[in-house]
Amino acid sequence: MISSQAAQNKAIVLTAFDTLFNKRDYVAAECYWSTDYIQHSAHIEPGRDGLFNMIKSSPTSLKYESGIVMAEDDLVIVHGRFSGFSGAASWVSANVVRIRDRILVEHWDVLQEEATRERSAGQSPMYDRSHLA
């Protein structure tokens, strides 16, 4: 059975990602990311400003879709997809986020160019929400 804290942490991360990546509401997003945010990513400059600046410089067509979400203690893992890179292939991601006092304080990611069903040797897509319904 999932704890209420785990459910709350999952909801915080999903709302934070939607607020920043899809709505691009940077003022509201500041409420979700710590000013001391630690970023472990090869693609993003350090801190909250590095993350926000990356999104500001991304195409307005950028979209984030969440898939599987798991939480334990202060960690949330979200499997999702970033799309809308102006013709480039989408990225499938596993984002690991640490939360403290309802604020995202640390992040790790694993990113890979999406293999659709047609591009997958095993004919299974990397990102498929059909089982979440």
Position 25 scores a pLDDT of: 98
Mapped onto helix, strand or coil, the DSSP state of residue 20 is helix
**pLDDT bracket for residue 119 (50, 70, 90):** low
Q: Measure the CA–CA gap between 52 and 76, rounded to whole angstroms.
A: 20
Domain count, the chain: 1
The domain of 34 spans 4-132
Kindly report the CATH number assigned to the domain that includes residue 63.
3.10.450.50
Mean pLDDT, range 68-75, rounded to an integer: 95
Q: Are strands 91-100 and 103-113 parallel, antiparallel or unpaired?
A: antiparallel
Mean pLDDT, range 10-27, rounded to an integer: 98
The string over 33-43, giving b where at least 16 C-beta atoms fall within 10 Å of a residue's C-beta and e elsewhere, is bbeebebebee
Residues in a beta bridge with 71: 76
Tokens of 30: 């500041």
pLDDT higher than threshold 90 for residue 122: no
